[in-house]
Structure 1
Amino acid sequence: MDFKTTANKVWYFIEKILISPFGQISFSSFFIAVVSGIFLAVPYDIKNPYDSLSLLLLTNPAGVFFRNMHYWSAQVFLLSSILHIIDHFRRKTEKKLNNGVWFRVTVSLFFLFYIMISGFILKGDADSEQAGRILRSLFEQIPIIGSFIGTLFLGREGDYQLVYVHHIATASILLWVIIVEHSKNFWAELNTFLYSLLFLVVIGLFFSAPLHDGKNVLIKGPWYFVGLQELLHWIPQTQLIILFCVLLLILFYLVKNLKEEYSLIVKSFFLILLFFYIILTIVGYFFRGENWEFILPWKSSTNFGTEFQPAFVSKAEEIEPSKFKVILGRREGCIVCHQMSGLSKSHDPEAIGCFSCHLGNAFTLNKYAAHDRMILIPGNLTDSKQTCGTAQCHPDIVPRIDNNIMSTMSGIVSVNRFVFDELTSPSVLSHVKDLGFSNADSHLRNLCASCHLGNEKTELGKINELSRGGGCNACHLNYSDDSNEQLNEYAKSKVKSEKSKNENQKLNFPKVHPDLNLQISNNHCFGCHSRSGRIATNYEGWFETLKSQQEVKGNKDYRVLMDERVFQKTKPDAHFEKGMECVDCHLAQEVMGDGSLYLHKEDQVKIQCTDCHSNQTTNRVSYSNLDYESRKIVDLKNAKREKTDFISIQKSKLPFTNAYVNSANQKYLVTKTKKDSLLLIPPAFVCSEGKAHQRVSCNSCHTEWVSYCVGCHTEYNPNEDGFDLLANKEIKGSWIEHPSDFYVDYPALGVRKDNSTGKETIETFIPGMIISLDKMKNDKQKKIFKRLFAPTFSHTINKNGRSCKSCHNNPLALGYGKGELNYLLKGKTGEWNFNPEFSLLPQDNLPKDAWIGFLQTRNEKSTTRTNTRPFTIDEQKRILLVGACLSCHDENSKVMNESLHDFEKLLKRVSTKCVLPN
């Protein structure tokens, strides 16, 4: 059996199913489209098409039905017309028509397309506006008469009057005349009409016509137009496409009078073109996402237009149309049913509605349709582009959040891979979402991958110590007492309903919504930042121990976190004691990112101690010169002050929106939550005295304490029940950590080089990983030992700073670890001696908590950064030389104060009593 015979059998089978010929179906559906369009014209407002259609969907079930009928009959008309033309070509019946009729049939192809696309444009939604712009630009590419043609068929941009007239009159009448002339009948056959009407009534009752909701990031033309959009994506030369379309119409007209063999070639060419256009349509409709990027349909959350939604299930007749207010350019049915309080002015339902955040379907009162595809907890990064990041809300913020170090976890990922010998450098741009299942990546998946903003918040409730991620909610979600109480009541009623298995059991739905605002407390940061570097607990004055809950029960000097870790009380950060919170220092461009990708957390930080505490002239910026985002923050917080400017930070010139400088050059900071005014005091004279400490950072002197975790044995157990924190699912097999010793003391000191300037500064360091790894997931024989220190800003600042001896005579500060560092006199020279507190590890023969050996150094692979290092041997000797002086001279003595200015000069006149080391 050849292809032609098979194709004919398929064709006959289709015709048999459809009962009637394609031409009659086309005529019937055209007539139904015209009549339903007349009914639709009554509620349609040409000046506000989108608003009138959204109001129709909410208040007029009959109107919804006729709109659905109009839409579906038009689709059937287009499809059956195409099939009718194919049938003509197959039967060769085009040759029976005279040239005049065939010419008008050819012309009708343009008007067939025009009546379809003009109807689509008349919706006035985002899809329609884009389709109109594309069509206008195509018309305007026609040489000489392009602008005229565009105006003739589309009118002025934003004015639907001419398109409306052409749609309901010009194109409709011309098509009806050509159809009548071609079919030689004024009306379609009765049986075909009734079959078509019955089919379209059923479809119209249950399946809605599409209307873009103004939120979906995907904007496309109708299905028959996206093939052209896909073609334009590959061939940007629009004039070639226009010329090709004109040539196709000419070829279509000529096919009637061609010889049989040439006619067959042309028809085959048309069939091949149709096949390729179908492919382009499928790709454009299902495989294109935002900005026409390729995306697999099952990975897209896109609504493809129509949906099952019975037109007759509505309570619209019970509600006054005036209750359906215009919110952000559209009518919304949500607030008719949901009366919520609790949200601040910016996010009040009266201002932004419910749909802006929760999506769903704003154009229906049908409970199930309205809640379809609704987002229960908006603000997660997976949906932020459709919720928080739309053009009407915060479009500039979401791309910044995506590149934010708290979203990528770049430093954590790259350092972890470096530790597992899967990277040769700890500084490689990485992203937590790209984690695979190697030894390093499975380790992160098991133990660390929850602390990133992309981790979804999946449960209702306020932010607490166990909170991880949640996108925008991580910082901006705040439950009032009322909203929290009502949520708890709802949860209780839900449990009661599930236990009783009574569907009619009343649920106590909350009436008070949690707020979204700028009241960002330390509690929002605590969940993630109480882990790893433990910044949040450090700041409040708590250090981690290995004690159990039972050991510290009732002891107020200890604190048990919700994850059951036990912390002991110690001295908090000086800024915490002044009532300052994290956001009082850290800028929006730090916390939310500035759009750039950064290797490590410290690279994204812009604020410095000297922005507030400096003897230099302060950079300032006036309110009138603030950038848009900063001014918005100032306005929302009512933070403008008369006769004052804002401090402009040194590193990026960004305004510090809660730090001010007045005309007398006095600087003060106003806490963002408590509104306390704090005078910003310049550094003490000793901080800048002389040149001895020019390389020393503020942090190095003023960090009171850090946590030391000095020994961790980690292994993979394939039989352990584990959890994949990235995929949020239970798994078999898990990495197990066995911590060894915790203690608090002064930090180690080391050197950090600024990659942009080459300047070196002395900074604070802690053990990043003193770790032994074995029983790997993918290599059971492999063993790894690493001794890596990491730069830290531990947020344990002390106003007074550390003593001279705590650096120059302290083995911890030099990187040797805890122990006794003694200066022993041996005749006319002295010698330093170090006795470590911890035993030496067999892997490298260094004390358990050491960074380097006594008067030794290590290579660049001793830290978790490529631009940091421990002190060189010469630097250690120089530090210890001062330490030798301090073993006799008081640090506040005249001679030690002189040493700050010119230590080399001082050494030339040392007393004969002074015994210096070799």
Structure 2
Amino acid sequence: MRRLISIALVMALGAVGPLQAAVPDKITLETAKEKGCLGCHEGIESIREETSAMLAAIKALGRPQGDPEGCVVCHGGNPRGLTAAEAHRGVPEKASETGPKIFYPDPGSIWIADATCGQSGCHQGYPYRLERALMNTEAGKIQGNLHTWGVEEVQNYKVPWGNYAVEDTDGLTPTVGTQVYKTYMTKLIEEHPDQLPTKLDQIPLPSVEEIEADPKLAGFTYQRQQCQRCHVGVKGREKRGDYRGMGCSACHIPYGNEGYYEGGDPTIDKEEQGHMLVHRIQGTREAKVKVRDDMVYSGIPVETCNSCHNRGKRIGVTYQGLMEFPYGSPYNEQGKTQPRLHTKQYLFIADDLHHQYDQSRPENPQGGMLCQDCHTTIDIHGDGNIFGTTLAQVEIECQDCHGTPQAFPWELPLGFSEEFGKTLATEARGLGDTLLAETQAYATQYDKQDGYLLSARGNPLGNVVKDGKKVVLHSATGLDFQVPLLKQLAEDNSWKSPDAMVAMSKVTKHNESMECYACHASWVPQCYGCHVQVNYGKDQDGKPFQDTDWIAGGSERFDDGQTAESPLGTHGHKRPGKVFEKRSYLRWEEPVLGINGEGRVTPLMPGCQIVYTVIDRENKVVALNQLGKSPDEQAALGQARVPDAIDMAPVQPHSVQRKARTCESCHNNPKAMGYGISGGVFQARYPEDIVEDLIDQKNGEPIPGRYQIQIPGIPALDYDWSTIIKDGQQVQTVGTHWPLSRALTKEMRMGMERTGLCMGCHREMSNAELWSKAATEGQLTDEQHIELMNKMFKAYAESVEGKK
């Protein structure tokens, strides 16, 4: 046990590898009494800036415990220890009863956070909330992926599993939030108990024997080895861009992508990867993080979030404008391709307008927004209940700040834009006068001016205020942004283009049935076809394939808050099987549209489009290019065809642009409506093996007797991956979490289809006499064409009026 603590210690505090000469093997008792932990760690950064009330409170708690800097308040340990081994065990005699019980290398670890971040007088309640929130359970990710494999237990929108067994022990009422929010959420839980369960069991680990008998159970191996490395119960993968702490430290302690320490603690090896950037908490506007004399920042950088949010829906890297691609071009000065980030290489498309540093609005400063500027404490930490999906936990909507062309944000009813199929009350939500207790205690408090804007569920957005005719968002970066209000644009008639005015203000059905980002997220990363091989056989050296099981590693915990995978270089527990992945093709432009769980039109992206191959212990293929089936989706849709379980997922892609999609990109685009790229005419031979050799063109048979299959078939796939509607039937799932998610309805598609409009006029080109009267010399520009059509419309209206 002592050895494990020692390993975890050097991992966290840096005594890995050769220590710098300035660090003594042993200090004197006088030095220990005078400096406490700084007897060895002198030069380390204070966890908060010297002027902060938090640091003052920590030091005040530390002094009676014999540590003037207060390190033991969070870490525990013995400040009178004269060696590393003595100092890094136990706690001071006068330690707080609710504080550390032994030495904790990473006080942020969720498994001991009740005695550190959540101890009495500090952030009480947060560990309970975070343990039940999606950042720890990943319940929705588990349900969505395993549904794609055809696992029965997760069909019919059931969410039975999380990374670890957990139960909501304090009832359905959230532990935080306004009374309005608590009432709203209690009702939502009653209406959707499957999406907000009261308990989760730990995700199972089938044996190899069970998997060989039922190959779709290989989905559990895939889940545990590939998908679950990002939850806050573990430190995760030691790769560029993936370095982070555990629990609270995963977000609030900075780690650079390269994983090098750049602070002043002499015990931390600055040439070893895997360490925090500096020993400082990042969070609010007041929490200033100094890295160098010329680098001081505040807030949680986007890349901290992206140490996890780079796979799945990929919303973090998409927010930065990045999409993975296989080439790594262009070459750099050394003639090499770009370095891998999160084990991938990226193509820059266009970052979200909220992220963009170069602001085009003269009233706003240069600089972009952080994830935390929109996402609330409940979005991130949870509210004490268990959430089965992202839609269940996230409380904000675009309209909460921007409103609609018909209503300012405070004029909208609660629940606007997340109706979940319900008719909303008509009462305006108004503005908030007071902040949540958590915001008052821990966050930056801004002058409310006329009032705080409210989320769709009734909580005050503490950093967004109404100030006269303006709405101001206060960013944790220290910048303040004026938020465009759509109703003000309509009243001032200051639209950027007639297209914007028509789409947002005149076609009222858009606001009633569509998410804002259905138009403004003009690109979405689309990784079509996830070909997964799970191999339980042997490699070329005869060794059985195995890989890291992140859930197994996170389930073995030690008293110091560390898990089996925490120490650098250990990589947790290995389990049988190894996953290999390939793709069919990548796209980014013109996302498909569908309906999300809230009942609104949204962009879709390929979710888990799994086609699986499983190889047993004897290196024999027991499942080849198989697709799961979705009988629950068939029942929900009431159609004859059983959809394949491969999924097109509703998504808020976080790729919003000021210039929205064109009308034609939806209304004259078969892909957008779900019919597939170019109407699904390509890649139509998936079900058959394709041979490329000398071919008898009379019958398509190979001429040589010896030939190879060039492209193996996928027997069940009789459509392109981008197709969700074929012959009027939905052929793959659209979302697995909520009953309302599905492809666009037939009525919607009929209303959108506008192909062939040109022929209303241009078919008369064959009528020389008529065409000569209507046509003019040369070629009309788009603007001239629109004006001509407008004149025709008005002329027709006048002719009809004249007949009345």
Q: Please indicate the TM-score interval, normalised by the length of the shorter structure.
A: 0.5 to 0.7
Structure-1 residue corresponding to 2:485 = 681
- Look up the match of 1:358: 75
Structure 2 residue identity aligned to 1:703: A
Aligned to 1:466: 242
Q: Report SS of the residue matched to 2:729.
A: coil
Query: Which residue in the other structure is 2:460 paired with?
Result: 655
Specify which of 602, 622, 629 is matched with residue 781 of structure 1. Answer: 622
User: Does the C-alpha gap of structure 1 residues 864 and 512 become closer, same or farther in structure 2, counting only changes over 3 Å?
Assistant: closer
> Match of 1:679, as an amino acid?
V
The Cα shift of 1:725 comes to 2.6
Partner residue of 1:717? 535
**Matched residue, 1:484:** 261
**2:569 is matched with which residue?**
none
Q: Give the aligned partner of residue 73 of structure 1.
A: none
From 639, 655, 658, the counterpart of 1:796: 655
Q: 1:626 to 1:812 in 2, by over 3 A?
A: same
Matched residue of 1:781: which SS? strand
Letter of the structure 2 residue corresponding to residue 371 of structure 1: H
Deviations along 1:820-840, one digit per CA (max 9) or x if unpaired, are: xxxxxxxxxxxxxx4623334
- Quote the offset at 1:876 in angstroms: 2.3
Provide the rounded CA distance (Å) in 2 between the counterparts of 1:469 and 1:350: 23
Once the two structures are TM-superposed, the CA of residue 885 in structure 1 deviates from its matched residue by 3.8
> Is residue 723 of structure 2 the alignment partner of residue 851 of structure 1?
yes
Q: 1:573 to 1:517 in 2, by over 3 A?
A: closer
1:392 matched residue in structure 2: 121
1:423-822 superposed matches below 5 A:
423=153, 424-433=155-164, 434-438=202-206, 439-456=218-235, 465-467=241-243, 470-478=246-254, 484-486=261-263, 490-492=267-269, 513-518=279-284, 519-547=299-327, 549=328, 552-553=331-332, 560-577=339-356, 578=359, 579-615=368-404, 616-619=407-410, 625-634=434-443, 637=444, 639-641=445-447, 643-649=449-455, 651-662=456-467, 664-682=468-486, 685-686=501-502, 687-693=504-510, 694-718=512-536, 719=538, 720-726=545-551, 727=553, 728-754=572-598, 760-775=599-614, 781-782=622-623, 784-785=626-627, 786-819=645-678
How many residue pairs align between the two structures? 539
What is the rounded CA distance, in whole Å, between the counterparts of 2:136 and 2:335 in structure 1?
A: 36
Alignment partners' CA distance in 2, 1:483 and 1:365:
28
Q: Classify the secondary structure of the residue corresponding to 1:836.
A: coil
For 1:607, give the aligned amino acid. Answer: I
- Read off the aligned partner of 2:577 and give its amino acid letter: G
Deviations 1:14-37 (A, max 9, x none): xxxxxxxxxxxxxxxxxxxxxxxx
CA contact (8 A) 1:455 1:468 kept: no
SS at match of 1:598: coil
Whole-angstrom CA distance in 2 between matches of 1:455 and 1:681: 42
> Cα distance 1:706–1:514, how it changes in 2: closer, same or farther (>3 A)?
same
Amino acid at match of 2:550: L
Partner of 2:642: none
For residues 825-844 of structure 1, the aligned pairs below 5 Å read: 834=679, 836-842=681-687, 843-844=715-716
Q: Displacement of 1:748 after TM fit? A: 0.8
Are the structure 2 counterparts of residues 852 and 556 from structure 1 closer, same or farther at C-alpha, using a change threshold of 3 Å? farther
5+ residue gaps, structure 1, are: 1-312, 325-332, 496-508, 755-759, 820-833, 911-918
Q: Separation in 1 of the partners of 2:254 and 2:603?
A: 35
What is the CA-CA distance between 1:487 and the residue it aligns to? 6.2
What residue number does 1:382 align with? 111
Residues 377 and 458 in structure 1, CA contact (< 8 A), matched pair in contact too: no
Change in 2 beyond 3 A, CA 1:789/1:624: closer
**Distance verdict in 2 for CA 1:457–1:897, change over 3 Å:** farther
Shift of 1:796: 0.9
Per the alignment, do residues 895 and 870 of structure 1 end up closer, same or farther by CA in structure 2, a change over 3 Å counting?
A: farther
Q: Alpha-carbon deviation of 1:347? A: 3.8
Residue 217 of structure 1 is matched in structure 2 by none
Larger Rg: 1
Paired residue secondary structure (2:146): helix
Tell me the equivalent position of 1:876: 749
- In structure 1, distance between residues paired with 2:341 and 2:136: 24
Distance 1:469 1:698, change over 3 A: farther
Kept in 2, the 8 Å contact 1:378–1:384? The answer is yes
Three-state SS of the structure 1 residue aligned to 2:600 is strand
Whole-angstrom distance in 2 between the partners of 1:661 and 1:671: 15
Q: 1:574 to 1:427 in 2, by over 3 A?
A: farther
* CA RMSD between the two structures: 4.1
The CA distance in 1 between the partners of 2:254 and 2:484, in whole Å, is 30
Distance in 1, matches of 2:219 and 2:46, equals 45
Query: Which has the bigger relative contact order, CA under 8 A and spacing at least 6?
Result: 2
For residues 492 and 769 of structure 1, do their structure 2 counterparts lie closer, same or farther at Cα, with a shift above 3 Å needed?
closer
Unaligned runs of 5+ residues in structure 2 are 1-25, 62-69, 90-101, 165-201, 207-217, 285-298, 360-367, 411-428, 488-494, 496-500, 539-544, 554-571, 628-644, 688-714, 762-781
Alignment match, 1:106: none
Q: Measure, in 1, the Cα distance between the counterparts of 2:276 and 2:583.
A: 44
Cα deviation for residue 854 of structure 1 reads 4.2
Give me the whole-angstrom Cα distance separating, in 2, the residues matched to 1:511 and 1:871.
47
CA contact (8 A) 1:379 1:470 kept: yes
- Cα distance, 1:427 vs structure 2: 3.9
How many percent of aligned residue pairs carry the same amino acid? 24
How far apart, CA to CA, are the structure 2 residues paired with 1:818 and 1:361?
Answer: 65
Rounded Cα–Cα distance in structure 1 between residues aligned with 2:750 and 2:731: 18
How far apart in 1 are the matches of 2:646 and 2:262? Answer: 49
1:402 offset after TM fit, Å?
Answer: 0.6
C-alpha distance 512-849 of structure 1, shift in aligned 2 (>3 A): closer
Distance in 1 of aligned mates of 2:314 and 2:336: 18
In the alignment, the residues of structure 1 paired with residue 382 and residue 520 of structure 2 have an alpha-carbon distance, to the nearest angstrom, of: 27
Query: Taking structure 1 as reference, are residues 418 and 338 closer, same or farther at Cα in structure 2, changes over 3 Å only?
Result: same
What's 2:47 paired with? 343
Give me the whole-angstrom Cα distance separating, in 1, the residues matched to 2:259 and 2:145. 43
Matches for 1:222-261 after TM superposition, within 5 Å:
none
The within-5 A match list for 1:313-352 is: 318=30, 334=37, 339=42, 340-344=44-48, 345=52, 346-347=54-55, 349-352=58-61
CA contact (8 A) 1:661 1:667 kept: yes
Q: TM-score, normalised by structure 1?
A: 0.53
Deviation (angstroms), 1:482: 15
SS in structure 1 of the partner of residue 672 of structure 2: helix
Once the two structures are TM-superposed, the CA of residue 457 in structure 1 deviates from its matched residue by 6.6
* Structure 1: distance between partners of 2:442 and 2:335: 39
- How many Å apart are 1:520 and its aligned residue? 0.8
Q: Which is richer in helix?
A: 1
Contact 2:670 2:677 in 1 (8 A): yes
The question of whether the paired residues in 2 share the 8 Å contact of 1:559 and 1:568 is answered with no
CA displacement at 1:871 relative to structure 2: 2.2
d(CA) in 1 for partners of 2:231, 2:790 = 47
Q: 1:528 to 1:314 in 2, by over 3 A?
A: closer
1:418 and 2:147 correspond: yes
**Residues 426, 865 of structure 1: 8 Å contact kept:** yes
SS at match of 1:711: strand
Deviation for aligned residue 1:624: 6.0
